[in-house]
Amino acid sequence: MVLRIIGLLLLIPLFDAVLLVAVANFIGAIQTVALVVLTALIGMLLVRAESRHTVRKIRERVERGELPGDELLDGGLLIAAGAFLLTPGLVTDAVGLLLVVPVTRWPIRSAIKRWFVVPYIDRKTGGIASGGVYVGGFPGGADTDDSDIYDVDSGRDDPEPGHE
């Protein structure tokens, strides 16, 4: 899964170059450069505003004694959005704008949590994040023998099996 994402990230500059050439042939080189600079400037203004909002939400959650998990993921996505927006190109600007806008950032954040964060935490903690923790007795219960089981509610004083 990670290799696919890395492969996709390596293909983005190729898509950017092809799209820039196509747009430059259609509207002109100067207008294309102006478009790339304009989208980067607008995107960075949006990143700045969203970052301030996210930092404020993190501070509020911490003051209430809550963990700011979603807000920290939003902060990471905003850092990635800034990197995409500073990279010249229309495809990277589009990806950056998708990461900046809260309406499109929410499903991306949910997918990252589901596919990366929760499985990672499960591997490190033995299933606590998803609730898949083993809680029922000893592992391998099918092959255990029942001679060691004592009924503590039977009222017997003798805990030894077989002595009645």
Q: How many CB atoms lie within 10 A of CB 88?
A: 15
In a domain, 49, yes or no: yes
In a domain, 152, yes or no: no
pLDDT of residue 22: 94
In a domain, 164, yes or no: no
In whole angstroms, how far apart are CA 59 and each of 49, 52, 55, 85, 150?
Answer: 16, 11, 6, 26, 53
Does this model's pTM top 0.85? Answer: no
In a domain, 144, yes or no: no
Considering its fold, how many domains does the chain have in total?
Answer: 1
For range 81-100, the mean pLDDT: 91
**Percent of the chain predicted with pLDDT > 70:** 77
Is 82's pLDDT higher than 70?
yes
Range of the domain at 51: 2-130
**pLDDT tens figures, 1-23:** 778 888 888 888 889 999 999 99
